[in-house]
Amino acid sequence: MMGTLADVVAYPEGETARQASVGAFGRMDEVEGLAHRQRVDAPASLKGELAAILGTGLEVSRASSGAFDPTLGEVIALWGFDSEKPHLPEPDDLSDALGRVGYRRLDPAVPGSVSPFGNSPPIWLDLGGVAKGYAVDEAVESLRGRGVSGGIVNAGGDLRTFGSKPGGKPWKIGVQDPDHPQELAGVLTLREAAVATSGDYQRYFEEGGVRYHHILDPATGYPARSGLRGTTVIAPDCALADALATAAFVLGPVKGLKLLEEWDGVEGVLITDGGEILTTSGIGKSIPFEKR
Ligand code: AMP
Ligand code: MG
């Protein structure tokens, strides 16, 4: 789903868990259907779940001064990151499309954001930076509602743990090493939490010896080169963790760390271009973290 693999761990083992997992995958499919690139011509079309996913996105847009921007759809399409063959866009097309990007165009907190819709160009939403997390949250709700007492839902590294393992031990969640994604940079020990990771090693192509990855800087329309290779965020829910991980990646080590530090109930582990590991103040305290 959403360009990645999803998996579910559900306890206690058995038929209830198996059937509940099927239900949880179904729920994630439904969310995936919503999260595809969407054209918004009128704000009235934004309702229900789509509005809920967008709401979390816009909250993070505001807090990150637009480093996270759910209106990048047209720009992302030019790069073709969700196609078979991503490629460098024409600079003119890029600057043209960038002119129509801007979360403020949708933000109900901005006076007048909605009224000029009538004759202004449509907005293309891309919720790829927050919808995986939302899907994980919904899958957890679905499992709990069907009698699962503990488990993990993981959508390609955006995950949520709930309840406890048999035996009551906490969950161990590995943080990938961006240079060697098969290996771990560290291990987090968690009870109930959501964890989401953004990295330049997750989706990219190379051209002329340059790596172009899928997390774009809304200021330029090009892949963010902020000094980070990976951002892992721990938050109460996975939609928030997902959006914050993408935002922190774009913001870079200083502003990204500040965003996470200042958000109540949120912690983070950032890995820089040089391989340095930066953490918020609760990592190693309220959340045990073992570097590898
Ligand atoms: P993630 O993997 O959660 O970091 O999200 C990356 C995905 O979010 C991309 O594949 C795009 O669909 C979308 N995206 C890329 N750059 C941004 C951005 N600056 N703000 C919001 N969404 C983005
Ligand atoms: Mg994200």
In 215-286 the beta strands, taken as DSSP E runs, fall at 228-235, 267-272, 277-279
Mutate to test the pocket of ligand 1, among 36, 246, 259 (most ligand atoms within 8 A of CB): 246
The Cα 270–Cα 233 span in angstroms is: 8
The Cα 203–Cα 110 span in angstroms is: 33
Query: What is the Å distance from ligand 1's center to 252 Cα?
Result: 15
pLDDT of residue 115: 44
pLDDT of residue 11: 95
Strand order in the sheet with 158-162: 6-11, 150-155, 158-162, 193-199, 228-235, 267-272, 277-279
What per-residue string of b and e applies to 240-249 under the rule 16 or more CB within 10 Å gives b?
bbbbbbbbbb
Orientation of helix 238-251 relative to helix 253-262, angle to 10°: 150
pLDDT of residue 119: 53
Stated length of the chain: 292
Q: Whose CA is nearest to atom 22 of ligand 1?
A: 129
Work out the angle at residue 232's Cα, subtended by the Cα atoms of residues 51 and 10, and round it to the nearest 5 degrees: 75
Residue with tokens 């995936």: 32
What is this structure's pTM?
A: 0.95
pLDDT of residue 159: 98
Is cis: bond before 12, omega within 30 of 0? yes
What is the block-wise mean pLDDT of the chain (292 residues), using blocks of 10 residues? 89 96 96 85 78 94 97 95 90 96 79 53 92 97 97 96 90 95 96 96 92 96 97 98 98 98 98 97 97 92
Distances, alpha carbon 135 to alpha carbons 34, 104, 118, in Å = 10, 25, 32
Instruction: Provide residues with CB under 6 Å of ligand 1.
Output: 68-70, 72, 76, 81, 126, 128-129, 198, 214-216, 218, 242, 245-246, 250
**Nearest ligand 1 atom, CA 68:** 20
**Nearest ligand 1 atom, CA 196:** 3
Query: What is the Å distance from ligand 2's center to 159 Cα?
Result: 11
Burial class from Cβ neighbours inside 10 Å (0-12, 13-18, 19+) for residue 176 reads: buried
Query: What is the Å distance from ligand 2's center to 155 Cα?
Result: 11
Query: What is the Å distance from ligand 2's center to 15 Cα?
Result: 33
Nearest to 98 by CA among 214, 226, 219: 219
Query: What is the Å distance from ligand 2's center to 185 Cα?
Result: 19
